[in-house]
Each structure stands twice: as structure tokens, then as C-alpha cells.
Structure 1
Amino acid sequence: MIDESILGTFGIKSFRGNQERIIEHVLSGNNALVLMPTGMGKSICYQIPSLVFDGTCIVISPLIALMKDQVDSLVAKGIAATYINSSLNRITRMDRYERLKAGGYKIVYVSPERFQKKEFLDAIQSIPISLLAIDEAHCISQWGHDFRPDYSKIKWFRKLLKHPPTIALTATASLRVQNDIIEQIGLPKEEIQIFDDGLFRPNLQLTVNECFDVETKYKLVFEILQSKKGVSIVYFSLIQELENFSRWLDTKRFPHLVYHGKRSNQDRSSTLSKFIKSENAVLLATNAFGMGVDKANVRNVIHFQIPGSIEAYYQEIGRAGRDGKDSFCHLFYTEDDLAIQMDFIDWQNPELPYLKKLYQLLVQKQNELSALDYGTIQSFMTYKNKSDHRVQTALNLLSRVSLISGDLEQGTLQLEQDWDDGLFSKEELEMKKKESGKRLYQMLQYTKTKDCRRKFIHLYFDSPFTSCGNCDVCLGMDPN
């Protein structure tokens, strides 16, 4: 039995889905891969065991911008928790390292690149690590929709931590991605149990509208925003399109919030705070918004353009209706949306000659690396083509094979070894690009299906399907 005082700390009166089974499994010292819909309480599955175990739980998360919110929530409950990432100044980081060394934290959130820092490695060597939690675990797999190269070192991280019990958590993973996650963690299949809590909440209504032009989209989306009560999120693939729609809403004197990666940290933080507190906000956002944001009363999630994959779409619509009340997920698209996503695929999958050219540029500029930024490197690599955004992905790939280390934005980028053609597989790079193309094709097929939309998504994720009754196809709705 789980101690009732710990349940009281989290305000839990009853568990949802497999939560209790997962927690008891982890408390017995076992490993787990948890598949659970967004908003269903994945974090509890490692937070409760971390309070029961002696020692410190390390949580690896890609969500630097949201670690503070997660930690603030734990600290408010009286739990000794912190985060350590590049957003902190050196003095604050060193203070937290000292407290970590002294065993002063039960839960510590870190980004995966923290394992490259000597001070962090020194701090964790001297304390017992009770549990390793890997949040957004689909980032481990190169076949997942949001692969992060630093996550590919999880097996090494576990070895550094002396192989503690491990729990990996995600909302989205096909069988192929599940198997890859387990392989990358470095555990035999028989030593990790998969807990699958299914995909959908029945309160989400799914609809798709095919539009012939952008003006039609503007009109239809605006009608929804005017007629639907409650909080709404409108997702855009391009910042430029988001800003255009924002200006259009301004001409209608329609209040709204804006969130994307080119806004300052202070602006994004302020926008997030307003959104969380609001009962009827309309937020225009790119996919930079959402991971880790827990707001129960989002009534509408609208996609202004077709997403790049079923995984991305599923994760984003999962932000609607977490309170169990009826909520609506509208997808609008035109044929032009596909061209946008195909550009994204090119940017996210740089070819071998591009990688080599980038490395050679860094060699030429090695005495100036601390002064470089993405824009400067991009100008050297693409000349007048400012819409080419391969640099960030390419730098991540160079880092993954240890050709470079450090962080460009922090001014710590440095060369580590000479170029070797054998470090990259041309076939593997091409295969990954083809996989991205297949995911986009599946997303397009979803918009075209004449069958139940929920059924389509369940089949995509190799998940058992029972019933729907809450999509435009099943309801016989006129899409336009």
C-alpha cells in the first residue's frame, strides 16, 4: 500500500488508469515504460516513488522552459525539488550542485546535456540515486517525431548513475518506437514492463476541414473563436502565418495572446502566466508551446495547418479537455500546407555533404566560435536563402557523434575531433528522411479518411480500438 500521507501531499483521493500499478511496480525496484494520454498524470508515477525511496530521483526532461513550473509546484507541496539547466547563472548552478552533493534534494530535473558538465557529474557521484525518470521518452528514438540527439546517450547516463530503477514516460509511441526506446535505454525487454493506458479521452471531438484558400481558413477559424466558449489554442506551423493572423484579429479588435520561439523569454513567460490563469483566453502558438503545460479547461485546440505527423497532432490535441468536459479539436488545411511540412522535413534531415560543409566552416572559424550564433552560421551556409533552417539540426548531429561539444547559444561550442566520413551513415540519414516523409503521408491520409478518425489514430499507434462516436465521420457532420 502507498502511504496515505504521501497521497495527501499530492491531493490524490483516487488513482487514474494504471497509475497505482505503475507506482507499485516502480516501488518494487522494477523498470517501466509508461504510455499515457497527456493530462492523465504521468508525473505522479515517478514523483511518489521518489518520496518513498532513500536518495535522489533524477528526471531527464527536454522542457527547459517548463522545469521551473514543475519544480515550483513540488516545492509548494513541501517537496525538496530543484532544476539545473542552462537558464541559471553560474552562481545559482554551483549553489544547487553543493546542495545536491549534500543530499538536499529528493527530485532534480535536468536536461540531457547536463551530463556533459563536470560539476554535475561530480555532484551525482557522491549521492545515492534512487530512480531515473525519462520524461517525453519518445525523444530517445530516432523513429520518434521529436528525436533529440542528447537522448541517445541514456544508456551511458544510466551507467553513470549506477543503473538505478528506470521509468520512461510518453504519450505517443508506436510499437517500433517503444522497442527503440527500450533498446536505447539499454535494458533487455524482459527487464522492463510496458504500461499502456490507451490513447484517447472520449470527450474530445475530432473534425477536419479542407479549405481552398487561406481566406476561407481565416473566416472559419474566426467563427469558431467567436462562437465557442472557454480557452482555445490555435496552432500554426509558421511564425509568419501566426503573426499575419494575429494582425488580422487585431483589425477585428479580437483579444488574444501570442506565443512562439522568436518572442523573448520574458514575453513567453508572461504569456504563459496569463494563459494559465485565464478562463477564456485565445492563444495563437507554434509547437514551441504546450509540452508540460497542464491546464484543465482548454475547450478548443485548432490546427491552422496540417501538422507534420500523427504523433505531433495527437500530442497537441491532448491539451484539450483534461477536465473531462466536452472539448473540440479542429484541423484545417489546404494543399499548400504540405509544401510547408516538406520544407520542414528537408531542414530536419540535412544530407552528408551539408554536414561536412558545416564542420569545415566551424574549422575555419574555430577562433571565433564563441562569437557565432545561428543566424551568422546560416548566412555562411546558405548565402541568400534565409528560409533554410538546417543549421540547428546539423549541429545536433555533429554533437551526437562527438565532432563538437558545448552550446552555441551559451558561447561554449568547441571542436573535439577531426572529420571522419565513417561517423555518419548516408543510408541511415536517407532512411530517416524517408521516415519523416512517411509520417507526413500518414497525416495527410488522416485528413482524407472516410472511416472513423479515432480508429485511424489507434491503428497508427498499434493500439487496440473499441469505439468512437465523437468524430465528424462517425457523427455524419458536414466538414464545411
Structure 2
Amino acid sequence: MKTDLLFDTFGIKEFRGNQELIIKHVIGGKNALVIMPTGMGKSICFQFPALVLQGTCIVISPLIALMKDQVDSLLQKGISATYINSSLNRTERTKRYEELRAGKLKILYVSPERFQKKEFLEALSKLQISLLAIDEAHCISQWGHDFRPDYTKFKWFREILKFPPTIALTATASSRVQNDIINQMGLKSQEIQVFNDGLFRPNLHLSVTECIDVETKYKHLLEELKSKKGVSILYFSLIQELENFSRWLDTKRFPHLVYHGKRSNQDRSVTLTKFLQSDSAVLLATNAFGMGVDKQNVRNVFHVQIPGSIEAYYQEIGRAGRDAKPSECKLFYTEDDLAIQMDFIDWQNPDVSYLKKLYLLLSQKQNQLSALDYETIQSFMTYKNKSDHRVQTAINLLSRVGLVSGDLEQGTLQLENEWDDALFSKEELEAKKMEGGKRLYQMLQYTKTNDCRRKFIHQYFDSPFTSCGNCDLCLKSD
């Protein structure tokens, strides 16, 4: 093992957890599923082998911002890496395809949708692929909390790439999700080794505060923020609620930063820079913030609304205390928060009638599709609830069964086939929606447990539990 490479390139003095075992396993040409807590160094498990092995490592990642952050970090270390995604113009993409064909790249980040592009497949055709890495691998599983239809095509991706050694990585996966990930990759259990570094983050103090109403919640939060030192992230389920709290903090003259999807790219970039450079920033964000953001000294992660699943909650609190120092993870919630998450479940699980209605609308508008956006289509589909966000999920499902292709945001969406009732199983759609309800119920149970919060999380993920001593319930019982 070239440990000098570890320090000279990555600035790391020693491996953590299963990192060394995983790296040796992958360099040996074997497949791996890696489950490792957020902030514990999953990326090293494929970046290190990528530098040792001959050829190009393809990394499939779900978020454009995540790709850019990772590539910027690699370039600073002198590693030939880049990304190809929809944020690039044609000239930039063409240049990067040329670099790829010429074998100049050790690591390339792409989204799974990129495999639909003919020019990308042509660039790959004569390339030596050293490794396929699947980041945020829980997105593969329909039972995962962040399922993405394009992530189900990895068996095909591996075939296109001539079956290279494959490493899938995630911070969270129950036994059921682990099995589904392996199955979706087209592998048998004996063809892949699971490395589970567990969930234990003893420096994180877990607690829950139930509030009778929003005003009480706001007051509790302000008291916490005034009493706590260091960097804080406050997570919100709804942009509207985030903005409401931001305005309320303004009336209290309490300085803070705001980050969410409706802010401009420039605004988000400026906010991210301020956050990364600060030792005391208070950031209000939606759950899209944090993936790939490597900030070691986040002291507090507060959830202002109940998350939709234990998986989402665990990933988000994992952004606290990456420097192993004591950090606070507190969930504030009211009963009204549950209604928000139940709406999300509805929006993420359109039924067959909604899918057919959308398909017929796209058929009627097919000559105008290049000029339409999600909000316009949404306005055609819903009349009462303008915040109903089923359209994006529904288009993904139509694409998955071959009824449409292309990208609405890029103006390339088009119809491919005639509607067929047999393409969708009512039972499967209902089962997936029911699964979302079960995950939300488990999240509610976490807030109500009288035992130990850390034990509850470990049991949820089928992970061995030894001790806690650092949650509100354990400390109260001492």
C-alpha cells in the first residue's frame, strides 16, 4: 500500500475505520458496498484506488454541486479530474469529451443521466475503465429514502463499461436496502463484499424538543442559537418556512445566512463561501445543502421541521462534528410538521391516473415542450394546491418506462411511445407510497421513544449497538 500517496496527495496521516481494507479490496479488482458515516472519508475509498490503477475511474454522483466540489478539491491536489453534466455548455462538454477520449483523466464525475447521451457513450467506447464508483448508493434502491429512477440502470452501466470493479458508497442503508443495491447492480451476494463501518458517532449529542406551536419553536431556537458557540446549520423541509424564520430572525437583528434552491446560483455560491470561511455562521438551509460540503467544525445541526425518514435525519446530523469534537444535534418539531411530510409522500408517489393525465397533457403540448418548464406544467396539472410537486417525479417515472426521453429543463423532453396501462403496476406504486409512510412513522417514533435515541437509530439500520451516554434520554436517566 502506497501510504506516502495518502499523505502527499490527500494530506491524511493514517487510514480510518475500514478504509485500508476497502482500498486493498478494490485495487485487487473486487466489488465493494461501503457503508460509512458521513464525514468519515468515503471518497478516499475510490479516489485512492483511482490513482493507483491504470485507466479512468468513472464516478456516478446525483448532484451537480457535489460533483463540482469534489472535482475542485481533486484539482487542488494535482489530480487530473473533471465532471460532465448539464451545467456545461456544448463547447465545454466537447473539450472534456476530447480529454476523456485521450485518456487524460484519472477521475470523471457524471450523473446517471449522462449514459443516455450518444456522444458520452462514444467517448467511453475505447477507454480503459479502471473502476466504477457509485456515490450516494442508497439512491439505487426504491426502498431507500432518496430513490432516483436513473440509479436503477447500474447493471446496464456496468455492462457498457465492460464490467469494471465497482464500489458503491453510502452513509445509510438497512439490510433490505443493502440487498436491493446489490441486486440493482446485477451482482450476486458472493460477488461483492459489504464493508460496514457502522453508525457510531459518540461525539454527537442527540435530543428532541417538542413544541406546542411555531412561535414557541422559534423562541426555543433563538435561545439555543444565542447560547451555542460555533457554526450552526438549521434544516427546514419547506422553503416557505425557512423564509418565514429568516424574516423573524431579522426582526430580532440576529445575523444569519440563507441557502435554498430558489436562490440564484451566484447567491448560493457567495453564501457557501461565507459559510465555509466562518467559525460562527448560522445557516438556514433546505435538505439539499450539505452533500459534498466538507466543513469540519460544524458544532450544531438543528432540524426545525421533522425529516421524512431516519435515513435523511442521520445523513444530515452527520454534518456536525466531523472534527470529532462535541456537537449538538437537536430536532424541534410540532405535530403540524407531520402534515408537511405526508404531503411530500403524496408528491413523491403519483398514482397511475396522475401519470396518465400528465402523459396526455404532454401529448397535447408536444409541439411546445421545448418552451415549457416544471411550474407551467404543474399549473396545468393542479388547480387547488400550487405547491404540489408531483410533476418532476412523474416525468422521471414516464422516462423510466420509455414513454418520454430527454430533459425538460434543457428543453429536450420528447414523447417516445404510446401510453400503455400495463407499463405501471398500481400495486407497486401503492407499496412504494406505503413504504414512505412507514419511514415517516419510524421518524415519529424516534421523537417519542423513551429508551435511547442512538439505540433506536442503530436498531433501525440493523447496526450493532454497544452504548450511548450522549442523548437527552440517557443523560436524563443517569
Judge same fold: TM > 0.5, yes or no: yes
Q: Per-residue displacement from partner, 1:76-110 (whole Å, max 9, x unpaired)?
A: 11100000000011100000001100001000000
Q: CA RMSD in A?
A: 1.0
Q: Per-residue displacement from partner, 1:421-464 (whole Å, max 9, x unpaired)?
A: 11111000000000000000000000000000000000000000
CA distance in 2, matches of 1:265, 1:119: 27
Match of 1:25 in 2: 25
- SS state at 2:356 partner: helix
How far is the alpha carbon of 1:387 from its aligned partner? 2.2
Report if aligned partners of 1:458, 1:464 keep a CA contact under 8 Å in 2. yes
Match of 1:54 in 2: 54
**Aligned positions of 1:7-156 closer than 5 A:** 7-156=7-156
Q: Per-residue displacement from partner, 1:158-217 (whole Å, max 9, x unpaired)?
A: 000000000000000000000000000001110100000010210000000111011110
Match of 1:232 in 2: 232
- Check if 1:308 corresponds to 2:308: yes
- SS state at 1:476 partner: helix
Match of 1:329 in 2: 329
How far is the alpha carbon of 1:5 from its aligned partner? 3.1
How far is the alpha carbon of 1:7 from its aligned partner? 3.8
- SS state at 1:48 partner: helix
Match of 1:368 in 2: 368
Report if aligned partners of 2:16, 2:40 keep a CA contact under 8 Å in 1. yes
- The residue type equivalent to 1:2 in the other structure is K
- The residue type equivalent to 1:332 in the other structure is F
CA distance in 2, matches of 1:5, 1:343: 49
- Residue 195 and residue 360 in structure 1: after superposition, are their counterparts in 2 closer, same or farther (change >3 A)? same
Match of 1:178 in 2: 178
CA distance in 2, matches of 1:427, 1:138: 23
- The residue type equivalent to 1:147 in the other structure is F
Match of 2:212 in 1: 212
- SS state at 1:299 partner: strand
CA distance in 2, matches of 1:184, 1:327: 36
CA distance in 1, matches of 2:218, 2:383: 34
Match of 1:164 in 2: 164
CA distance in 2, matches of 1:387, 1:108: 36
- SS state at 1:454 partner: helix
Match of 2:269 in 1: 269
Match of 2:408 in 1: 408
Match of 1:192 in 2: 192
Match of 1:260 in 2: 260
Structure 2: 5+ residue runs without aligned partners? none
- The residue type equivalent to 1:440 in the other structure is L
- The residue type equivalent to 1:108 in the other structure is L
Report if aligned partners of 1:56, 1:128 keep a CA contact under 8 Å in 2. yes
CA distance in 1, matches of 2:270, 2:232: 17
- SS state at 1:232 partner: strand
CA distance in 2, matches of 1:413, 1:383: 24
Match of 1:251 in 2: 251
How far is the alpha carbon of 1:265 from its aligned partner? 1.4
- Residue 200 and residue 3 in structure 1: after superposition, are their counterparts in 2 closer, same or farther (change >3 A)? closer
- Check if 1:453 corresponds to 2:448: no
Q: Per-residue displacement from partner, 1:280-306 (whole Å, max 9, x unpaired)?
A: 100000111111111100000000011
CA distance in 1, matches of 2:359, 2:65: 29
Structure 1: 5+ residue runs without aligned partners? none
Match of 2:439 in 1: 439
- Residue 313 and residue 5 in structure 1: after superposition, are their counterparts in 2 closer, same or farther (change >3 A)? closer
CA distance in 1, matches of 2:426, 2:261: 31
How far is the alpha carbon of 1:260 from its aligned partner? 0.8
How far is the alpha carbon of 1:8 from its aligned partner? 1.7
CA distance in 1, matches of 2:227, 2:47: 40
CA distance in 1, matches of 2:322, 2:217: 27
CA distance in 2, matches of 1:400, 1:265: 29
Report if aligned partners of 1:63, 1:292 keep a CA contact under 8 Å in 2. no
CA distance in 2, matches of 1:286, 1:337: 15
Match of 2:475 in 1: 475
- The residue type equivalent to 1:115 in the other structure is F
How far is the alpha carbon of 1:6 from its aligned partner? 4.7
Report if aligned partners of 1:454, 1:468 keep a CA contact under 8 Å in 2. yes
TM-score, normalised via structure 2 length = 0.99
- The residue type equivalent to 1:403 in the other structure is L
Report if aligned partners of 2:140, 2:184 keep a CA contact under 8 Å in 1. yes
How far is the alpha carbon of 1:3 from its aligned partner? 4.8
- The residue type equivalent to 2:124 in the other structure is I
Report if aligned partners of 1:144, 1:177 keep a CA contact under 8 Å in 2. yes
CA distance in 2, matches of 1:261, 1:346: 21
- SS state at 1:285 partner: strand
CA distance in 2, matches of 1:336, 1:288: 22
Report if aligned partners of 1:348, 1:390 keep a CA contact under 8 Å in 2. yes
How far is the alpha carbon of 1:2 from its aligned partner? 2.8
Q: Per-residue displacement from partner, 1:342-390 (whole Å, max 9, x unpaired)?
A: 0000000000000000001001001001001011101111124202111
Runs of 4+ in 1 over 2 A off after TM superposition: none
How far is the alpha carbon of 1:67 from its aligned partner? 1.2
Report if aligned partners of 2:6, 2:13 keep a CA contact under 8 Å in 1. no
CA distance in 2, matches of 1:7, 1:407: 42
CA distance in 2, matches of 1:384, 1:139: 31
